[in-house]
Structure 1
């Protein structure tokens, strides 16, 4: 596992372990008393018990103790490590072992590595053969578990951990089968994890860095054993490092995107990433090579990054902006589409909250994952599910360098019946125009969110502007609503139990912040927002002019207009004998459209036949009278903005095939709201309001005190559950439609049972 390489840190952790303080992870900095001769492998410690148990069963303490021995050569460290190892072995085969982390993908992978590392050190001592053989047996058992495909986690960073651990086991145990299987699976994992070469798929800069450093370890290890896959691993590593060149803020702090844990410490890049441009960033321009670009657009991954300049003289004063829309996986994902972050003059201005913890249902966890914690737009005060079904409804649409400014357009069509385009226009490092163009046939409350850094403070606020002071500088930020909003409000910290404004500074640690929200009530509407960074003495100079759908700022003219949205599917089905011709009449004058058609078995939902995306708007299929069909139509543009519809059904009735067309308002599943209903005696009904689902499959996951407690599957939109034990519970649910796949992935708020 990739860890901080500070030897003093490991010695400190090891000394705490020798003094009855159970430390399992450098990010869980609490005192947990334990008895090393009677270790409780089911301990409920910290406010993140799952995370604590994961690293306990990974035998992370064995790693700390072994590294401390290498530093100090004190045999007491290895003796303590032996107690952990044999205590865990005894627990793992006991009847009292009901802990999911005993045999869990991440914990087994890391435990195997830690045991191999321990044995590589321990084997050099005298009179250790019997214990060596016993620990070797444990490694073999864990390696067999990793080899078994039934225990393998595909398309996830935990699977990468399993692969590397299996490869190491293969070399340690001289088993080529382990090595080859590990390499084969690893190759599949990396293709999935970095689909566009540069950015890890799991939506978190923190996880991107962790996986990048881990792939570096894989590369170095494979190179050391002369495995030819080392070159491929290095290619993935170097691509991932390029993203880091641009995503670090000028003060070397990480943007707290997705499940990225915040920190009280100032920015610092400790890892050597073997890249000259990142070395330049790392040294703030004193070494390495100047990065080539001030604008980086990762369209398929959903990231746009602006950097004002790279000069070493005032490196950390440069303006930096990141704009995000789109995702390819729901793992570690927040509802942060159309959000942006802004840093300038040595300070954060608009921020992301980062990750609080992994405790499903915890109020602060729910806040940090919601759209209300991000600089984006909200419809009717609701957040949204980051399900696979929604992933093609958000993304970057286009980037253009225009006369005097850069313009990036992104879209969010997740809110039912609402289409949102956000355009960020960058004139220079001090001037930005953000245009939120919103279309709907219904009346809604639209909210624009600005999550402020604690480096800025509100000086003045109205429904048309906010004046922010950048502390300890001569600058301020003037945010103006050029197209007047209806109302404004601000939220501070957690004073209001219903609305938060917080930022992560560590696992289970937050600090209060301030959030400003501007509101509009309308059908179709538009926010036109200017953000200017000004010296306080020049505050009222160079006003922005807005009229006739045009903004004039510093001599630059920005035209404002609505882009043509993706048209609705208009599918006609023509049947001739045993053949069906599908024609999608949707067309566009300004967008290049692609069409795809699927015939699914109406009963099973499995594919019968299909036509891949092409520019042809029609396709012909041969029908079998022994089968009935669900007709799926797919339409997308070059930005991967997609509309998927269940058009209707073809069935063989009597002597002919007949087509039953669905009304337009029935062609997609709709998820409305989730409610908890108390029915007395600790019996609760968890219900999700849905419509237009076909055959529904639901998975309900019950968590108790943050740990997985029970799984229940059914074919209903509700679950009745009676709690029989005291604790804090939350219920996570996934609902699948037989034709659309996973439509919603979400959870209910916590319930306390006394």
Structure 2
């Protein structure tokens, strides 16, 4: 396909679409664009700037994290160009336009057929790259930049088709994951921007794929099936993006996605902490903002058990706010952590028992393995390897309300049945009772994870944890107790670390007790 054919097929509706998704006045994108093309500094989210010349870069020599490469391979500078267009001078518009073309050709020359270029044809990065290329071409066409007359631009129509062909192949389609959702949504969007007959087949297959992704991604309660509040927020954003497809004439998909938004928002509010942040569960990042929750009663019990969650939140008799989340076996296997039957506890502005965090997307990294393991979650366990494929569990996990403020979770994550019962009371202050038991003769242990080190005193069957405005008395049966801090390169099960920034860890604390019954009492100073 020739470039002029592609550009002449650009629909009138796509101009409205471009106008809705880009502000054209982003000062941050303007800075990123100038940094890249004037200072040879590439800015990636969660990383320090890297020195590289986008016009001559070999696309393989820098040793960087996979997430860094994922961002670069998507060619974000094309978005920066569009989103800062009205802040650029006339001279900058033409100069940066030329630089973008040269940078694309640098990728074609050094990455397209280069197996040593990290993530060059990664399932997710490829989708984002073709989206950015398509948006940029359409925008340049509408902005009157005479891109069809540029020699360097001539191969770009075929490059877009090549990307869509690659994404169409089943083995490259990451079905029923957030990657697959994005792949289908992006291919459909690109095929709606251009009305050329060549795009009909992409439109048909991506529409059907996207329907399947929407139906799979969320439970009937509006809960995203992957492992964390962070993904709930991200995928709610994807549902909102589907609404914009209506301006491209795609009403069915837009309405289908819109039908999930209210419930997805309700759940995001339900899991937002009293301080306005999302709990750092699974792959959620620290200080990620949620949606404010409006308390209905003194204690609200939010039943999302069909999706793997119970949330208990409110104010105790001392007037202190609290948030308790129980989680057992979300439905997707993607990014799964070993966190069946976990408990997350927030009290009076502080996380008491939490999660270790994301760290980074490198599943071979020993610290990443720790963060996905039982040791970075507050869970019961036996000495068996955890099962991460839900379909391999002997029984469907159970999460049920068994009293006014009593809950029971069952899971066979370790190959045997384990049961955790949690009882909550708020008089005279917040109190928890936790009972852990199993169907086997093995000792059932319980790991309790704290995202920071706090003063700890230990007695027989009793711990005292000191927080800034309150203390926690933890009572347990027997004498089996062990406490861990920091990281061990030799054995991850004797370490305790937290990751509040991407790729960065610091020391945390956790303790293990082998006791069926635990009682936890909160007292203010």
| Distance (whole Å) between structure 2 residues aligned to residue 458 and residue 120 of structure 1 | 59
Q: What is aligned with 2:312?
A: 306
Q: What is aligned with 1:431?
A: 430
Q: What is aligned with 2:15?
A: none
Which among 132, 147, 152 is matched to residue 128 of structure 1?
147
| Distance (whole Å) between structure 2 residues aligned to residue 4 and residue 55 of structure 1 | 21
Q: Kindly tell me: are residues 71 and 425 of structure 1, through their superposed partners in 2, closer, same or farther at Cα, counting changes over 3 Å? A: farther
| Distance (whole Å) between structure 1 residues aligned to residue 24 and residue 495 of structure 2 | 36
Contact residue 203 and residue 331 of structure 1 kept, 8 A: yes
**CA offsets 1:258-294 (integer angstroms, 9 cap, x no match):** 22233xxx4534xxxxxxxx4x54xxx6xxx969981
Q: What is aligned with 2:159?
A: 138
Q: Which runs of 5+ in 1 are unaligned?
A: 270-277, 521-525, 537-754
Q: What is aligned with 1:422?
A: 420
Q: What is aligned with 1:71?
A: 87
**CA offsets 1:591-631 (integer angstroms, 9 cap, x no match):** xxxxxxxxxxxxxxxxxxxxxxxxxxxxxxxxxxxxxxxxx
| Distance (whole Å) between structure 2 residues aligned to residue 143 and residue 495 of structure 1 | 45
**CA offsets 1:276-320 (integer angstroms, 9 cap, x no match):** xx4x54xxx6xxx9699811122222111111159xxx9xx5211
Contact residue 41 and residue 51 of structure 2 kept, 8 A: yes
Q: Kindly tell me: are residues 394 and 518 of structure 1, through their superposed partners in 2, closer, same or farther at Cα, counting changes over 3 Å? A: farther
Instruction: Give 1:217 shift.
Output: 0.8
Instruction: Give 1:436 shift.
Output: 2.6
Contact residue 25 and residue 87 of structure 2 kept, 8 A: no
| Distance (whole Å) between structure 2 residues aligned to residue 3 and residue 409 of structure 1 | 47
Q: Kindly tell me: are residues 443 and 378 of structure 1, through their superposed partners in 2, closer, same or farther at Cα, counting changes over 3 Å? A: closer
| Distance (whole Å) between structure 2 residues aligned to residue 88 and residue 496 of structure 1 | 38
| Distance (whole Å) between structure 1 residues aligned to residue 22 and residue 385 of structure 2 | 35
1:407 has 2:400 as partner? no
Q: What is aligned with 2:486?
A: 493
| Distance (whole Å) between structure 1 residues aligned to residue 230 and residue 288 of structure 2 | 13
Q: What is aligned with 1:153?
A: 174
Contact residue 473 and residue 522 of structure 2 kept, 8 A: yes
Which among 498, 517, 522 is matched to residue 503 of structure 1?
498
1:354 has 2:370 as partner? no
| Distance (whole Å) between structure 1 residues aligned to residue 310 and residue 497 of structure 2 | 25
Q: Kindly tell me: are residues 329 and 307 of structure 1, through their superposed partners in 2, closer, same or farther at Cα, counting changes over 3 Å? A: same
| Distance (whole Å) between structure 2 residues aligned to residue 462 and residue 292 of structure 1 | 34
| Distance (whole Å) between structure 2 residues aligned to residue 453 and residue 441 of structure 1 | 31
Q: Kindly tell me: are residues 443 and 151 of structure 1, through their superposed partners in 2, closer, same or farther at Cα, counting changes over 3 Å? A: closer
Q: How does 1:99-248 map to 2 (within 5 A)?
A: 99=117, 101-123=119-141, 124-131=143-150, 132-174=153-195, 175-223=199-247, 225=249, 227-248=251-272
Instruction: Give 1:502 shift.
Output: 1.3
1:518 has 2:513 as partner? yes
Deviates more, 1:290-299 or 1:324-333: 290-299
Which among 65, 71, 74 is matched to residue 55 of structure 1?
71
| Distance (whole Å) between structure 1 residues aligned to residue 474 and residue 247 of structure 2 | 53
Q: What is aligned with 1:616?
A: none
Which among 19, 22, 39 is matched to residue 42 of structure 2?
22
Instruction: Give 1:70 shift.
Output: 4.0
Contact residue 327 and residue 394 of structure 1 kept, 8 A: no
Richer in strand (by share): 1
TM-score, normalisation: structure 1: 0.61
| Distance (whole Å) between structure 2 residues aligned to residue 156 and residue 122 of structure 1 | 32
| Distance (whole Å) between structure 2 residues aligned to residue 441 and residue 510 of structure 1 | 36
Q: What is aligned with 1:449?
A: 447
TM-score, normalisation: structure 2: 0.85
Q: How does 1:292-303 map to 2 (within 5 A)?
A: 294-303=300-309
Q: What is aligned with 1:338?
A: 341
Q: What is the alpha-carbon root mean square deviation over aligned residues?
A: 2.9
Aligned positions, number: 491
| Distance (whole Å) between structure 1 residues aligned to residue 345 and residue 115 of structure 2 | 49
The structure having more radius of gyration, on CA atoms, is 1
Which among 441, 461, 466 is matched to residue 469 of structure 1?
466
Instruction: Give 1:133 shift.
Output: 4.1
1:11 has 2:30 as partner? yes
Contact residue 14 and residue 61 of structure 1 kept, 8 A: yes
Instruction: Give 1:488 shift.
Output: 1.5
Secondary structure of the structure 2 residue equivalent to 1:300: helix
| Distance (whole Å) between structure 1 residues aligned to residue 483 and residue 68 of structure 2 | 36
Instruction: Give 1:180 shift.
Output: 3.0
Contact residue 394 and residue 410 of structure 1 kept, 8 A: no
Instruction: Give 1:111 shift.
Output: 0.7
List 4+ stretches of structure 1 deviating above 6 A. 1-6, 289-293
| Distance (whole Å) between structure 1 residues aligned to residue 115 and residue 341 of structure 2 | 46
| Distance (whole Å) between structure 2 residues aligned to residue 488 and residue 103 of structure 1 | 49
Instruction: Give 1:117 shift.
Output: 1.9
1:369 has 2:378 as partner? no
Contact residue 221 and residue 307 of structure 2 kept, 8 A: no
Which among 82, 94, 105 is matched to residue 101 of structure 2?
82
1:396 has 2:398 as partner? yes
Q: What is aligned with 1:37?
A: 55
Q: Kindly tell me: are residues 352 and 410 of structure 1, through their superposed partners in 2, closer, same or farther at Cα, counting changes over 3 Å? A: same
Higher relative contact order (CA 8 A, sep 6+): 2
Contact residue 370 and residue 383 of structure 1 kept, 8 A: no
| Distance (whole Å) between structure 1 residues aligned to residue 393 and residue 77 of structure 2 | 39
Q: Which runs of 5+ in 2 are unaligned?
A: 1-17
Richer in helix (by share): 2
Instruction: Give 1:62 shift.
Output: 2.5
Instruction: Give 1:136 shift.
Output: 2.9
| Distance (whole Å) between structure 2 residues aligned to residue 223 and residue 408 of structure 1 | 46
